[in-house]
Amino acid sequence: MAATMAAMQNKNRYVIVVGLGKTGLSCVRFLDQQGFRVSVVDNRLSPPGLDVLQRDFPHIEVKLGEFDEDYLRDADELIVSPGLSVNDPPFIDLLDDVQLGGDIEWFVRQAKAPIVAITGSNGKSTVTTMIGKMIEACEHTVAVGGNIGTPALDLLLNKNVPDYYVLELSSFQLETTESLRAETAVVLNVSEDHMDRYDSLMAYACAKRKAYVNARHRIVNRDDVVVRSMFEEGDSIGFTLDAPRDEDFGIRHKDDVAYIAQGNILLMPVSEFPLLGEHQLANALAALAIGYSLGLPVQPMCEALKHFNGLAHRCEHVATINGVTWINDSKGTNVGATLAAIKGLPGPMVLIAGGQSKGAELSDLSKIETGKLRGSILIGEDASLLAGYLSQVAMVQFACDMHDAVAKAEQLAQVGDQVLLSPACASFDMYKNFEHRGDCFVEAVKELQLNGN
């Protein structure tokens, strides 16, 4: 009876999904199943997912092209794509007339299990996947999604409610989320990203900070000054690449061996963790802190870490050819991610970088440790901007595409070097997304391997 009453109420509520694509389609699926009146608008004439929408939901009206403010005003609520800012026209003009939200806001209103909320400039996908594996290793059920893999609202289509939901959340998604009360939340780190959307690093950090609001447990990166400033230091469980205190997770040394530790307790040798780089080690420590806050036993979590082989395009080992190791970090779409990858890997290395810098401050690239880079091969729209800073620490060459970049890197690299694709930029000037860019890199490296170079 209650479900019938809810369906009747939903039928009288009109929701417009603004922006199609993967997230928009998930919103349509959820709303249609719940019996809401739905329509879709998109300011693109041929948005991704249009064919699926028209095939699976022929009864739903679609309006394409320039937004019609009067049409939008007729809705009871707008679900706005994270790719669109509600602080821009026409949405800013509608705030007094129409309720605005996003897919995560709708998700948290409906979710019946504790939510783990994971955000940050870098490492979100890795930590989200790690904690999902840890929860499974501790014999609990989990549904993982959000900004990675399955859209959040699609997770609700499964009638079997898991023990936990683990969500990767972008700053864009958090902008339109007001009702989140996470069981555990973490802002992994904050560095400049999406500066074409935010006025300042502080504005970007404020969007990230929303993950902590009303969270029962808050995990803090003790090594990140911006994250530390988000709340009182004592009100948290922390992680650090230094020696940890109390219940925090970090690194301790005994008899010249580095260990992952909680407080003074040694948990496992760092050498048993399979991923490359200090930034990946920080991700592992963050995941352990999250799991500990949920009451998960530490040893099964450590076993999950020992078998975690990482994600594609995140410091992924591609091949070793003639003594040179090729690493795909195409997910390094901002300066902070690229600097973390460079710092975490032994040098010397040849860096392949470039793309769309999204208005970010690039000057930190000039602070890379002397001798770490043998050289940089730069591609894409903002290659010349990156060159202005990278040329201060190593030689710079330009390439016309990824195959050209790989060929130039192969000529420059010496035995024992790494060639690291970590662009510090978005990919959309040359590629569909960072995955496409990484796939092109892998393809070019495999061709080198096949040709016996």
Give the residue numbers marked as catalytic. Answer: 124, 147, 194
Q: 162: cis peptide before it, omega within 30°?
A: no
Residue in this structure with the two tokens 């690493």, named with its chain if needed: 327
35 phi-psi bin (left φ>0, alpha ψ -120 to 50, beta other): left
Distance from C-alpha of 271 to C-alpha of 309, rounded to nearest angstrom? 14
Judge residue 416's burial from the number of C-beta atoms within 10 Å of its C-beta, 0-12 exposed, 13-18 middle, 19 or more buried: exposed
* CA 168 remoteness from chain centre: 7
Q: Do 36 and 11 meet the contact criterion of CB atoms below 8 Å apart?
A: yes
Closest listed residue to residue 336, CA positions, set 118, 167, 124: 124
Amino acid, single-letter form, for residue 307: H
Closest listed residue to residue 74, CA positions, set 123, 33, 15, 120: 15
Distance from C-alpha of 435 to C-alpha of 427, rounded to nearest angstrom? 9
Q: 348: cis peptide before it, omega within 30°?
A: yes
Distance from C-alpha of 375 to C-alpha of 410, rounded to nearest angstrom? 11
Distance from C-alpha of 101 to C-alpha of 175, rounded to nearest angstrom? 9
Neighbouring CB atoms inside 10 A of 95's CB total 11
Token pair of 409 as six digits:
């890197």
371 phi-psi bin (left φ>0, alpha ψ -120 to 50, beta other): left
Token pair of 113 as six digits:
């299990």
Amino acid, single-letter form, for residue 208: K
Q: Could you say which DSSP state residue 153 is in? A: H
Q: Do 131 and 148 meet the contact criterion of CB atoms below 8 Å apart?
A: no
Kindly compute the dihedral angle of the four CA atoms of residues 211, 215, 220, 224, in this order, to the nearest 10 degrees: 30
Distance from C-alpha of 66 to C-alpha of 18, rounded to nearest angstrom? 12
Size of the chain, expressed as the number of residues it contains: 453
Distance from C-alpha of 119 to C-alpha of 205, rounded to nearest angstrom? 11
Q: Could you say which DSSP state residue 453 is in? A: -
